[in-house]
Structure 1
Amino acid sequence: MPPDAAPLIGRWIDHFKCEFKISRNRNSKFGDYRPPFGGKGHRISVNYDLNVYAFLVTTVHEFAHLHTWNQHQHKVKPHGTEWKENFKKMMQPFFEKDVFPADVKQAIVAYLSNPGASSCTDLNLYRSLRKYDAPKPDAVTVEKLPFKAVFKLKDGRVFRKEEQLRKRFKCIELATRRVYLFSPVAEVELVREAS
């Protein structure tokens, strides 16, 4: 995380008596919060491979869950109004410390008008954060592929890109002919251009 952010995160870990763990990459999520249960206290994990700004945004997101749980336990929705208010308040000190580059700060401010369950759901924020990732030579996003291009996922499944349906792209899995909807920013590997 940005060095100026670390002292406050350290204080939160101590204050909330939280187990904070750096986790392996999880394709399905960037971070996770677990409330106290079965003799264990609060637990937060954040993927190790995020860039410093994505790591910080994810960390604050999970601490907002912890803070909301302390206030309301299971009486509110995980990403409801109470969590949104806590997330906004908990991001504020990092704006005051000016830890984010201007483009990321602007994207976060826009996202905070109605934050979602994941920073991935806000394409503007996701794209801003992605600019600071280490380069991945074989990775390309679905939105950058030409129409009818063939691509594959890490698990080896192969798809053909079709038309855009509102925010997502319709793609056909070649082996099964099943239709899937892909986020424009999903990272894939190009197999071949349109044929």
Structure 2
Amino acid sequence: MRATLIPYIPENSFPLVEYLIKKYAINLKIVNERQTKHGDFRTFANGKTQITVNNNLNKYQFLLTLVHEIAHHVTYKKFGRVQPHGKEWKTVFQHLMLPFLRPDIYPNHILPLLANHFKNPKASTDSDPKLALALKGNTAKTGKNFVFEIPEGAFFQYKKNTYKMGKRRRTRYECLNLKNKQVYLFNQNIEVSIVELT
């Protein structure tokens, strides 16, 4: 287990992760990147469960996503079918994540943002723009830009669709899909590709 997980998580978090995986008999699968989610928790007709986490996440994102999904597993085992990100899951997630909020696991500049996030954890860290940006190291992937870096009126591509950047609405941006002429709200830290339209 150590050889499999160490490349994906902060080294000092391994004993805690190993404890959770063994205690709750977690069936973990590390998978290729999915555009729509970082990880998921599934139940099967035979009663078995599985957690998947994307292999492209950095160590801090991976650890947070893994514990997020373990919280779904524990919530399901303890309470049965309840709201996916309801009060039961939030309480379990807070409890499971607390031991990981240490400076030898997460950098000092991320810890206050995590502490704030865990006052009322959201379904996705992407809906917490400051935390999501810090977890990404405040740097977009090569060849990409964060939505907030795109000038108003410029064009960008996201999931094979082209958009025109619009106005900012608090933490999200209005973006016009050029194909269907619908306006979509984008979180400021989504990574997109700038395109030049001729």
The gaps in structure 1 that reach 5 residues or longer are none
Higher mean C-alpha displacement, 169-178 vs 49-58: 169-178
Equivalent in 117, 120, 138 of residue 114 of structure 1 = 120
Is 1:66 matched with 2:73? Answer: yes
In structure 1, the residue matched to 2:177 is 173
Conserved? CA contact 1:148–1:161, under 8 Å: yes
Structure 1: distance between partners of 2:123 and 2:78: 19
The gaps in structure 2 that reach 5 residues or longer are 1-8
Q: CA deviation at 1:126?
A: 0.3
Q: Normalising to structure 2: TM-score of the pair?
A: 0.88
In structure 2, the residue matched to 1:23 is 31
The amino acid that maps onto 1:117 is A
Conserved? CA contact 2:102–2:111, under 8 Å: no
The amino acid that maps onto 1:126 is A
In structure 1, the residue matched to 2:49 is 42
Q: Deviations over 1:108-166 (max 9, x none)?
A: 10100110101111111101101176x622100111111101111242x2111011233
The amino acid that maps onto 1:24 is N
Structure 1: distance between partners of 2:38 and 2:49: 17
Q: CA RMSD in A?
A: 2.0
User: After superposition, where does 1:91-130 map in structure 2 within 5 Å?
Assistant: 91-96=97-102, 98-130=104-136
Which secondary structure does the structure 2 equivalent of 1:4 belong to? helix
Which secondary structure does the structure 1 equivalent of 2:19 belong to? helix
Query: Percentage identity across aligned positions?
Result: 34
Q: CA deviation at 1:32?
A: 0.5
Structure 2: distance between partners of 1:167 and 1:159: 18
The amino acid that maps onto 1:115 is P
Is 1:144 matched with 2:149? Answer: yes
The amino acid that maps onto 1:39 is N
Structure 1: distance between partners of 2:107 and 2:55: 21
Structure 2: distance between partners of 1:66 and 1:42: 8
Which ranges of 4 or more aligned residues in structure 1 deviate by more than 6 Å? none
Q: CA deviation at 1:20?
A: 0.4
Q: CA deviation at 1:96?
A: 4.6
Structure 2: distance between partners of 1:9 and 1:25: 21
Conserved? CA contact 1:51–1:132, under 8 Å: no
Q: Normalising to structure 1: TM-score of the pair?
A: 0.89
Structure 2: distance between partners of 1:147 and 1:25: 29
Is 1:52 matched with 2:56? Answer: no
Q: CA deviation at 1:8?
A: 2.0
The amino acid that maps onto 1:183 is N
Structure 2: distance between partners of 1:178 and 1:92: 41
Quickly say closer, same or farther: Cα 1:179–1:59, change in 2 above 3 A.
same
Q: How many residues matched?
A: 190
Structure 2: distance between partners of 1:24 and 1:81: 30
Higher mean C-alpha displacement, 25-34 vs 5-14: 5-14
Q: CA deviation at 1:93?
A: 1.4
